[in-house]
Structure 1
Amino acid sequence: MIEKNYMQRIVFLITLLNFSLITAQQIDPLLASNVEHQAKWVDSIYGNMTLQQKIGQLFMVDVFSSKEKQHIDRIKKLITEHHIGGIIFSKGGPQRQAKLNNEFQELSQVPLLIGMDAEWGLAMRLDSTYAFPWNMTLGAIQDNKLIEAVGKRIGEHNKRLGVHINFAPDIDINTNPDNPIIGNRAFGEDKENVTLKGMAFARGMQRAGVLACGKHFPGHGDTDQDSHKTLPTINFSAQRIDSIELYPYRRLISDGLASVMVAHLNVPSLESRAGYPSSISQNIVTDILKQRLGFNGLIFTDALNMKGASNFSEPGDIDLAAFLAGNDVLLISEDVSKASTKIEEAYNDGAISEERLAHSVKKILKAKYKVGLHEYCPVEREKLFEELNTPEDDKLYSELIEEAITVVKNQGAILPIKNLDNKKIAYVHMGDDSGLDFLETLQKYTKVDQINASKLDEMITKLKPYNLVIVGLHRSNDNPWKSYKFTDKELVWLYEIARNNNVILDIFVKPYALLDLASTTNLEGVVVSYQNSKYAQEASAQIIFGALKAKGRLPVSAHQDFPVNTFWETSSLKRLGYTLPNRVGINMEKLKKVDTLAQMVIDSAMSPGAQILIARRGKVIYHKAFGKHTYNSKRVKWNDIYDVASLTKILATLPMVMKLEERGKLKMNTRLRVMLPEITGSNKDSLTLITMLSHYARLKPWIPFYLRTLDTVNRLPLKEYYRSKPSKKFGIKIMDNMFLRNDYKDTIFNRIVESDLRQRLEYKYSDLPYYLMKRYIEKEYLESLDMLVQNNFYKSLGANYTTYNPLEKFNKNMIVPSEIDDYFRYQKVHGYVHDMGAAMQNGVGGHAGLFTNANDVAKIMQMYLQKGYYGGRRYLQSKTIDKFNTCYYCEEDNRRGVGFDKPQLDEVGPTCGCVSMTSFGHSGFTGTYTWADPEQELVYVFLSNRTYPTMSNRKLIRTDIRTKIQQAIYDAIEE
C-alpha cells in the first residue's frame, strides 16, 4: 500500500509539472497600502495575545440574526470566552444584523472579521436587501466590465453593512447539468469565460474594500451530489482537474484574489486516502493550493458542519485536521470549545509549531487591517435600507439582464418580430410563477392575447387563428435552487403547439431546462432569459420586438442543438424600449416632481384622471396612470384609451398629408382649388396647403355646426335632422339612440366653403383646414381616413389601441368618458367623440375623433422623432419630417409649423419655454398634450379628460399644469 501511494504521488507530481502548476508565488493579496503600519499593528496585536486568543482567531462562527436570544447569547459567549476571530452572518435582516454586528464588535478584544455568503448580493441571506442576477445569468454577458461593476456594487453593499469578506465568487466550472448545489451559482462551463467573469467580479469587490473568496477549491462543478448532505466524489484524472477545475484559480490568484474556500470533496486523483475530504487534505490545501499555485491569501474551509465534513469525524477532530492540512480559518465549527482544546493540545504536544500558528493568525490579522478594522467604526443604522436598495442598483441590474438574455434559435429570422400588420400573436403561459410583466410588456408593442385552456385540444383550437405563439416558461425567481424543469404535461403541450403554430419559446429559468426537450425542430425561436424577475420579463419582451438587441451567449450546453456559446445577436428595429430614468440621464429624485404635479391634477379636480409618459433616447422612462375614469369610478390603467381631440391633427391627418406630399400629389404651395375643384370660385380657392396648416389662411377658428340642428327654443335635437334608430337616410351615428341624416356631411362642407374669411391676415388657430384635408385625402385614396391611418400607420406601428370609434373594437370599460353633455347629445359622452363636428362625421374627423393611450401616442411621436423610421420600417422620409416641422411664418409672429405646433416666439405659448426650437407637438381640447424634442431626444405625453363632467372646467388650462410637468422633466435632465 505504501509503495502504491508513493507511486501515485510521483505520477501526480509529474502531472503537476507537465501542466504548469508550479508557478511563482502570489504577491501577498492581504498587504495594505501602508505596509509598515500594517506590520506593526499585526505584530502588536499578536504579541499581546495568549495562546487561547491566538487559537480563537482561527474560528469563524455562524450567526442568524433572525434567531432567538439563546442563539445570540451563545455567540456572545464564544466571543468573550473563546476569543473567536470572526462571524459569518446567515439568514436574517439588515437592521437586526447591523445591531448584532455592533454588539459583537463591542464585546471582542480584537475586532471581528465579518463574513457572509452574498454571491448575488446580501439578499442571498437577508430580507429587505438587493438581489443581483445569479452567476449563470452573468455568465452570458460579453462585457466583463459589467461583471466588475456588479462585484463592486455587491462589495459596497457588504461594506455598508459591516461585512469584510464575501464568500464569492463561485468559480466552479459547472460541466454537470445535474449538479444539485452549484448550477446557477456558476458562471458556466467554459473555463475561460468562468475565469474572466470570476476575475472581474473579484476585482470589483476588492475595489470596494471587501475581500473576495474563490470557491469551491479544487472544483465542485462536475458532481451530481451536494456536499451539504454527503461527500461528493470528483472522479477525474489529475490532468483533467488541472486543465479544467484549477484553471480559474491560477488566473485569479495571479490577479490578487484575497482568499480561497476549500470544499469537502472526495478527489481520488489528488488525495489517495479513500473518502478523505479535500478540506483536510494537506496534499490539496498545502501542496497544491499554497505551494504549487503559490497562493498567499487566506484559506477558509467550507462549513465544517456540512455532512461532507461532519460525517468524517467527531467535532473538534475535523477542525484540527483542517488546520494541519493548511487552512487558516475554520468556518462554522460544530464545537468551537472542543476544537480549540484539540488544537491547543496539538500545539503543546509539538504537532503544531508556533511558526505554523503565527502564519495563519497573522494572515487573519493582516486581513483585518486591510479591511479597516484597525480603525473600526460601528455600522451606521440610519438610512440602511435606502442605501442597500438604490436606484443605481436597479440601473445596474437592468443593464446586466439586458446584456445576458440569449437568443439560441432564430429560424427564418423570426426575431425580432417584424411586420406587425400581418401578425396575430398569442401568448401561452407555462410554469408555476407569474409572467404578467412579460405579457404586459409584449402588449405594449402590439395586440397579444393570452390564451388559456384546461385541455390540449381546446388550446389547439383556440390557437388556430394565430400565426405566431409566444410560449413563456416562468418559474420561481426566489433562489437559484428552485425547480426549473418543464413538467411532462408542459412538454406534451409545447410539442403539439409547435407542431401546429409558429412558436417562440422563452424560458425564464436556467438554460438546462432546454435539456428536457426531445426535439427543437418545430420551434422557430428560442430565447433564454435565465431569471423570472420583473426586469428579465420586461427586457425579454423588448428583445422579442426589437427594442433591444440580443447580446448574450449561452454559458453552458443546454441541448445538443444549443452547445455552450450558442448565440444569435439580433438587431434593433428602433421601437420604443422601456427602462429606468437614470439610464438615460434623468435624475430620478428630481423626476418625482412629476408625480407631485400629476397628483395635484387629481387632488385639485383639474381632471378625474390622467396618463403621463416620458421617453428619452428611445426609452420610455416614465409611464404612469393617475386618478380615475370619473370622480367616482374605476382607476385609470396604462392601456385605457382617451379621446385625444386635436392631437388627431398630427396623429392621423398630418401623416397622410405627408405621404401625399411625398407621392408628389401635394406641394406646400398647392392651392385648395387644385385639391378640391368644387370650391373653385369661392373665397377659399387660392388658399394653399402651407397657409392652411400653418393656421395663417384667415379661416375662422371653428363653426358650431350642431347648433343649427337644435330647436332654437329648447335647444333639443330636431327630428328634421335626427332619429333614435338608424335608417338609410339617417345613418350617421352620433351617440346611442341618436342618428344624423346622411346628407348633413355636405351641409358641413358647404358651410365651410361659404364661411367668411377673417379680414386680417394673422396667426389664428382653426379646425376648418382639417375638415377640408380629410375630404381631400379620402377622395385621393378612395378610402375613409380611419381605415387609411390604420393600414398605413397604426397596424404596423403596433399602435393597436389607436382608433376612431373605439366602441367598435374595445370594451367600454377601457374607454375614458369625456363629458356629461347637456347642450347637444344630452347624455354621458363615453366611447363617442367629444367634438361635435367630428361626431357629425360618423366619429371620424380630420381635426378630432381619435382615441388612444399615452403609449401609442409615444410610438407615433417617436416615429416622427426618428425622422419617419420606426420598427424596422420607413414610414416617411427624413426630409419630409423636416419640411413639415418648419416654422415658415415666424417673422410674421406665427410660431406654427405645417400641422405641428412649435414653441412660443415670446413668453406665452404652448410649452414650458425650456424646449428646443426644433421641437414640435400639439395639444387637445379634452386635456391632452404631446411634445417631442429632437435635441433632447425626448417625447412627452399627457392625456386627461379635464372636460369631465363639464368642459367648463378650465383649471387644467389656467394652471398650465401640462407645461409645468414639461418643465419638471427638463429640470431632471442631467446629461
Structure 2
Amino acid sequence: MKRKVFTFLILIFVQIIQAQKVDPLLAKDSIAQNVWVDSIIKNMSVDEKIGQLFMIQAYSNKDKKHEEFISNMVTKYHVGNIIFMQGTPDKQVILNNKYQQLAKIPLMVGFDGEWGLDMRLKNTYRFPWNMSLGAIQDTKLLKEVGNRIGKHCKRVGIHINFAPVVDVNTNANNPIIGNRSFGESKENVAEKAIAFTRGMQEEGVLANAKHFPGHGDTSADSHHTLPTINFSEQRLDSIELYPFKKMFEAGVGSVMTAHLSIPALERNSKLPSSLSKNVVTNLLQHKLGFKGLIITDGLNMKGAANYSTPAEIDVAAILAGNDLLLIPQDVPGSIKLIKKALEGRELSEARLNHSVKKILKAKYLVGLNKYKPIVTKNISKDLNSPYDEVLHRKLIKNSITVLKNKDDILPIQNLKEKKIAYVSLGDDNGSSFYKMLENYTRVDKVSEKHLSTLLQKLKKYNLVVIGFHKSNKNPWKSYKFSNKNLVWLQEIARNNNVILDVFTSPYSLLQVPSFTNIEGVLISYQNSKLAQELSAQALFGAFALKGKLPVSIKNEFKLGCGLFVDGLDVLQYTIPEEAGVSSEKLSIIDKRIDTILKEKMTPGGQVLVAKNGKVIYNKSFGYHTLEKKYPVKDSDVYDLASLTKILASLPMIMKAEEERKISLFSSLGDVLPRYRKSNKDTLLLKEVLSHYGRLRSWIPFYLNTKDEDTGQNSSKFYRKKRTHRFAIKVAKNLYLAKEYRDSIYKYIVDSEQRTRLGYKYSDLGYYIFKEILERKYKKRLDKLVEEQYYQSLGANRMTYLPLNKFKKNEIVPTEKDTYYRNQLVHGYVHDMGAAMLGGVGGHAGLFANANDVAKMMQMFLQDGSYGGHKYLEPETIHKFNKRYYAEKKVRRGLGFDKPQLNPDVKATCGCVSDVSFGHSGFTGTYTWADPATGVLYVFLSNRVYPTMKNYGLVKSNMRTKIQQDIQDAILMAE
C-alpha cells in the first residue's frame, strides 16, 4: 500500500515539474519581451495597473451612448482589455480601432468564439460544435479548425478567443456544456482540445481552456445558479482535471475559472470556485503549475454574481489568484475596493504587479507591442472564404457516425429495386436533406397528421429514411424526441426497413426504447444546411463514413462506437475549391448566362460542371419560355435531342457488343435482313458509328405525309384521335398510322448513298441501331435503357416519353411548330423522325435534367462503373472512345463525338484533351467529359424556342465558351 502511495506521489511530482516548465506567455524573443513589459510597468500608476485587470464587454450593435461608456472606461479608468459581444464584424473593427486609439497601452481584445465568430457576430462563419468534432478521428482537422478560427479572430483584431471548452461531458443532462464538449472521454477531449489550441495559437491568437476545474458533470447552468460538483479529489484529478493538465503541458495560453461549488476543493460550499484561493492558487498555480493567464468566467453570471456585491466579487477573484476579471459589473467600485485592499495590505503591490506583468506579456505575445489598426476593407470576404467551407465539409464528412448497419443497408445501393420514402421527425426543417436525397434517385416525402394514415402510405415503400431534425440555432437547444415522435419512430420501424439519421446531439438516442427494428442508425450531430446535404450524400455512398461516437448511449452504443462504411463511386455535390477549382474564375459562367438570357439565345437552361466526381456548379437559369411563366428548376427535364445517341443508343450498343450480340465488324446486311442486297449491305457497324458510312445526314420523313395540294398533314396518314390503326402518337391530338413505321425504315434502306467516302454526320445510322437493338433484345429501346441503366443509376429524371412520368410543368417545351405539328411541342420529342416513331428514337427522344445526364457521363468517365455497379467493361469504353478513321479526317469515335481535327470547327473549346468525348444536340444541348482532367460538363437549353431559326446560341459558341471558362478556372486553381 505504501509503495502505491509513494508511486502516486512521484507521478504527481513529475507532473508538477513538467507543468512548471511550460510558460505559455513566453515569446520566442523573451528578452525583448521582458524589456518591453518592464518599460511599460515601471511608468504605470496604480490606477493604470488596476485597469489592466479588467476585461469589459463591448457591443458593436448598440448606440452611441454605449460607445461613449466604453470610451470612458478606457480613458478614465484605464481599462486594459475588452471582450466584444454581439454585432457585426465591420462595425466591430471600426470600434476596435477607435478604442485602441484611445488607449494608452494597447487593449487586449477577447471574444467568445467556440465554433467561430458566428457565436457572437452576424455574417461570419460557423464551424461545427465540439461534440461533432469529438467524433472525428483525424486530429489534424482539429488543428485546421483552430487555424481558421485564429485567422478570423486576427482579421477583426481579436487577441484571445475563449475556446476550446475542455470540460469532459459525463452528464447527459448537462444543460449548458453538452454539445460544447468534445465528449465524455477525457483522452479524446484532451487530444482534440490540444490540436485546436495549437492551430489557433499558431495564428497568434491565445486559446483558453475552460471551464476550470471542469463543468462537464453538472445538472445546473452557472449562468443562472451555482452548480455543485460532489466528487472526491481523486475523481476530479482522474477525470475533470485530466484534459486541463494535458493542455497546460501543451502550452495553452490561458485558462478560465468556472463558477462552481466543489466541496472537495473548497470547504465553503457557497464560495464559487472562481473566487476560491484553494482552487485558483493552490490547485491551478501551485499544484498544477499553470503559468498562463488566469481569467474568471463572466462575472455577470449568477453563479458568481449571487455571492456578493460586484466590487467585492472582483476583489475576491483577484485575491483568489485570477489575473483578469471578465465582464466586471462595477469597475469604479472595484477599483476603489482594490486600492483599499492594497492600502490594508490584504493585496500586495507585488501580487498586483504579478498579474499585470502576465497581462503585458500576453499583449506582447499577440503582437500588441507593434499594434497597427485593423484594415476595414474586404472583411466579409476574408471571413467567409470558400476554404472555410472546404474545411467545414471535411469536418462533417469525418464526423458522421454509423452506429448500426444491419444487412449493409448503408450505403443505399441497388436503386433499381428500391422504393424510398423520407419521413421528417423533430421540430426543425429537413428540406436541404430531402432535396439532396432527390439528387441520387427518386425519394418521396411522406407526411401525415395521423400515424395510421402514414403507415398505410408507407406500405408501398421498401425503405424509409427518417430524418430527426432539431434546432441548430445554438448548442444548448433541446435535442429530445417528443413522446409522439418516439411512438412514430417505433411503429414505422416495426413495419418498414428504416434508416434513422439524427441531426442533433447523440444524447437524443438515450430516449429510444429499442433499436431492434431499426436497420440503420447514424448520427449527423447538427441540423445545419451542410450537415443535411452531406449526410444525404453519405447515405448513397458519396464518401466513406468513419466517425466514432464521442459519448455512450446506455449499453446499446458504447463510447467510441462507429462502423466504417466505405463509399461508392457516385457523384458528390460540393463547391469548386474542394475539387481544386477557383469559384471566382468559374463565376464567369453566370455572366455568360446573363448574356444568353439578355440576347434571348434561349429562354432558360441548366448548367452542370463536375470535376473528379464532384459536382461544383449546378444551376438552372431563366424560364421555360420567353413568357416567363415557369422558372427553370433543377428537376425540370429538357429534350436532349442528339444526346440521345450517346446516352441511350450507345450504351446499349456497347452492352450488345460486350455480350456478342453484335460485332463492330458485322455489316448491316449481316445483322438486318432488310439491308441485304441494298446499297448499304456491306456497311460495317463500325463505319456507321463513326459517321463514315456514306449515309445521308437525315431524311425529312414527315414531308412525305403531307397533302400535296394543301400542304397539311394528310388524312391518309393522320387522325386527331387514337384508333387501332392510327396508334403512333406524334404530338397532342396527332396520331400517325402505325404501318408508317415500316415506311420509315424502307425509306432508309432505299435512300441513296453519298458517292464520296468521308465524314458526314448522319442521324440515319441510329434509326438502324434502334432496329438492331430491339430485334436482338426483343424489347423497345426505351425499356432497355431504363432497365439496364437509368433505374440502377438513380437517373429517375431521364426518360423517353416524359408525359408518362412527369407533370407537364416539369417538362421544358421546345418549338412553336408551324410546319408539321402546328402546336407548341411540349412533352413530345422535337425531332420529327423520332416523333413519327412514337417518341422513341435511337437518335432523339430522350429527356432529362442536367444531373441525370451527369450520372451517365460520369459512368463513362469511370470506365463503365457507378454506384458500386459495373455497367460496362473499361475495355469497352476505351474501344468506343477512339477514332478509327482519323487518317480520313473523321474526328468521331464510335458514337462519341471527339475534339475537332480541323481548328475551324468548333465542336469543343479546343482546350480539352484528345481522350475527351461528348455530343451536342439540335435543341441547344451539350455534354462533354474529359478523362485527362476529370471534368464533366452539361449544358441544357431549348434554344429552338420560339423557333429552330433561333441560332444565337450556336453562332455565339456560348456552350464551348463556357467549356473554356471551366478549363481556365481549373488551370488557374492548379
Normalised by the length of structure 2, the TM-score is: 0.98
Partner in structure 2 of residue 823 of structure 1: 819
More displaced 10-residue stretch of structure 1: 400-409 or 195-204: 400-409
Partner in structure 1 of residue 89 of structure 2: 94
TM superposition shift of 1:18: 5.7
Partner in structure 1 of residue 900 of structure 2: 904
Partner in structure 2 of residue 446 of structure 1: 441
Q: How does 1:401-416 map to 2 (within 5 A)?
A: 401-416=396-411
Partner in structure 2 of residue 516 of structure 1: 511
Q: Which amino acid aligns with 1:948?
A: Y
Partner in structure 2 of residue 888 of structure 1: 884
1:602 and 1:435 map into 2 onto residues whose CA distance is 33
TM superposition shift of 1:21: 4.8
TM superposition shift of 1:332: 1.1
TM superposition shift of 1:880: 0.4
Residues 815 and 947 in structure 2, CA contact (< 8 A), matched pair in contact too: yes
TM superposition shift of 1:224: 0.9
2:10 and 2:850 map into 1 onto residues whose CA distance is 66
Partner in structure 2 of residue 731 of structure 1: 727
Deviations 1:622-664 (A, max 9, x none): 0000100001121100010000000000000011111111111
Q: CA 1:14–1:572 in structure 2 vs 1: closer, same or farther (change >3 Å)? A: closer
Residues 19 and 243 in structure 1, CA contact (< 8 A), matched pair in contact too: no
Deviations 1:505-535 (A, max 9, x none): 1111111111111111111111111111111
1:274 and 1:438 map into 2 onto residues whose CA distance is 48
Residues 312 and 334 in structure 2, CA contact (< 8 A), matched pair in contact too: yes
Q: Which amino acid aligns with 1:697?
A: G
2:138 and 2:16 map into 1 onto residues whose CA distance is 31
> Which residue of 16, 41, 52 corresponds with 1:22?
16
Q: How does 1:543-942 map to 2 (within 5 A)?
A: 543-632=538-627, 633-907=629-903, 908-942=905-939
Q: Does 1:58 align with 2:58?
A: no
TM superposition shift of 1:884: 0.4
> Which residue of 80, 95, 105 corresponds with 2:100?
105
> Which residue of 965, 970, 973 corresponds with 1:968?
965
SS in 1 for 2:460: coil
TM superposition shift of 1:793: 0.3
TM superposition shift of 1:280: 1.5
Q: Does 1:320 align with 2:309?
A: no
Residues 704 and 837 in structure 1, CA contact (< 8 A), matched pair in contact too: yes
Q: Does 1:198 align with 2:193?
A: yes
Q: Which amino acid aligns with 1:942?
A: F
Partner in structure 2 of residue 4 of structure 1: none
Q: Does 1:957 align with 2:948?
A: no
Q: Structure 2: 5+ residue runs without aligned partners?
A: none
Deviations 1:830-877 (A, max 9, x none): 000000000011100000000001000000000000000001100000
More displaced 10-residue stretch of structure 1: 125-134 or 66-75: 66-75
Residues 23 and 292 in structure 1, CA contact (< 8 A), matched pair in contact too: no
SS in 2 for 1:881: helix
TM superposition shift of 1:277: 1.4
Residues 142 and 552 in structure 1, CA contact (< 8 A), matched pair in contact too: yes
2:61 and 2:396 map into 1 onto residues whose CA distance is 31
Q: Does 1:257 align with 2:252?
A: yes
Deviations 1:295-351 (A, max 9, x none): 111000111121111111222222111111111111111211221111111112222
Q: Which amino acid aligns with 1:654?
A: L
2:832 and 2:248 map into 1 onto residues whose CA distance is 77
Q: Which amino acid aligns with 2:198?
A: R
Residues 614 and 620 in structure 1, CA contact (< 8 A), matched pair in contact too: yes
TM superposition shift of 1:273: 2.4
Q: CA 1:769–1:68 in structure 2 vs 1: closer, same or farther (change >3 Å)? A: same
TM superposition shift of 1:38: 1.4
Residues 691 and 761 in structure 2, CA contact (< 8 A), matched pair in contact too: yes
Q: Which amino acid aligns with 2:791?
A: K
Q: Which amino acid aligns with 1:411?
A: K
Residues 19 and 239 in structure 1, CA contact (< 8 A), matched pair in contact too: no
Residues 303 and 331 in structure 1, CA contact (< 8 A), matched pair in contact too: yes
Q: How does 1:404-553 map to 2 (within 5 A)?
A: 404-553=399-548
Residues 505 and 523 in structure 1, CA contact (< 8 A), matched pair in contact too: yes
Q: How does 1:313-352 map to 2 (within 5 A)?
A: 313-352=308-347
More displaced 10-residue stretch of structure 1: 558-567 or 175-184: 558-567
1:215 and 1:925 map into 2 onto residues whose CA distance is 65
SS in 2 for 1:464: helix
TM superposition shift of 1:267: 1.2
Q: How does 1:133-282 map to 2 (within 5 A)?
A: 133-282=128-277
Q: Which amino acid aligns with 1:661?
A: E
Residues 16 and 22 in structure 1, CA contact (< 8 A), matched pair in contact too: no
2:330 and 2:318 map into 1 onto residues whose CA distance is 15
More displaced 10-residue stretch of structure 1: 858-867 or 138-147: 138-147
TM superposition shift of 1:398: 1.4
More displaced 10-residue stretch of structure 1: 330-339 or 72-81: 72-81
Q: Structure 1: 5+ residue runs without aligned partners?
A: 1-10
Residues 906 and 960 in structure 2, CA contact (< 8 A), matched pair in contact too: no
2:892 and 2:213 map into 1 onto residues whose CA distance is 72
More displaced 10-residue stretch of structure 1: 922-931 or 247-256: 247-256
Residues 474 and 507 in structure 1, CA contact (< 8 A), matched pair in contact too: yes
Q: Which amino acid aligns with 1:910?
A: A
Residues 906 and 957 in structure 2, CA contact (< 8 A), matched pair in contact too: no
TM superposition shift of 1:12: 14
Residues 405 and 540 in structure 1, CA contact (< 8 A), matched pair in contact too: yes
> Which residue of 391, 404, 422 corresponds with 1:396?
391
Residues 26 and 295 in structure 1, CA contact (< 8 A), matched pair in contact too: no
TM superposition shift of 1:96: 2.0
2:8 and 2:225 map into 1 onto residues whose CA distance is 31
1:263 and 1:846 map into 2 onto residues whose CA distance is 73
2:626 and 2:556 map into 1 onto residues whose CA distance is 57
1:180 and 1:864 map into 2 onto residues whose CA distance is 52
Residues 169 and 214 in structure 1, CA contact (< 8 A), matched pair in contact too: yes
Residues 199 and 255 in structure 1, CA contact (< 8 A), matched pair in contact too: yes
Residues 556 and 565 in structure 1, CA contact (< 8 A), matched pair in contact too: yes
1:767 and 1:471 map into 2 onto residues whose CA distance is 47
Partner in structure 2 of residue 48 of structure 1: 43
1:360 and 1:266 map into 2 onto residues whose CA distance is 25
More displaced 10-residue stretch of structure 1: 492-501 or 373-382: 373-382
SS in 2 for 1:880: helix
Deviations 1:113-150 (A, max 9, x none): 10010000111011111111111111111111111111
TM superposition shift of 1:569: 1.3
Normalised by the length of structure 1, the TM-score is: 0.98
More displaced 10-residue stretch of structure 1: 100-109 or 738-747: 100-109
TM superposition shift of 1:559: 4.2
When the two chains are superposed, the root-mean-square deviation of aligned CA atoms in Å is: 1.4
Q: Which amino acid aligns with 2:779?
A: E
2:623 and 2:268 map into 1 onto residues whose CA distance is 74
Q: CA 1:294–1:18 in structure 2 vs 1: closer, same or farther (change >3 Å)? A: closer
Q: CA 1:792–1:559 in structure 2 vs 1: closer, same or farther (change >3 Å)? A: farther
2:618 and 2:526 map into 1 onto residues whose CA distance is 24
Q: How does 1:72-83 map to 2 (within 5 A)?
A: 72-83=67-78
Give aligned-pair identity as a percent.
57
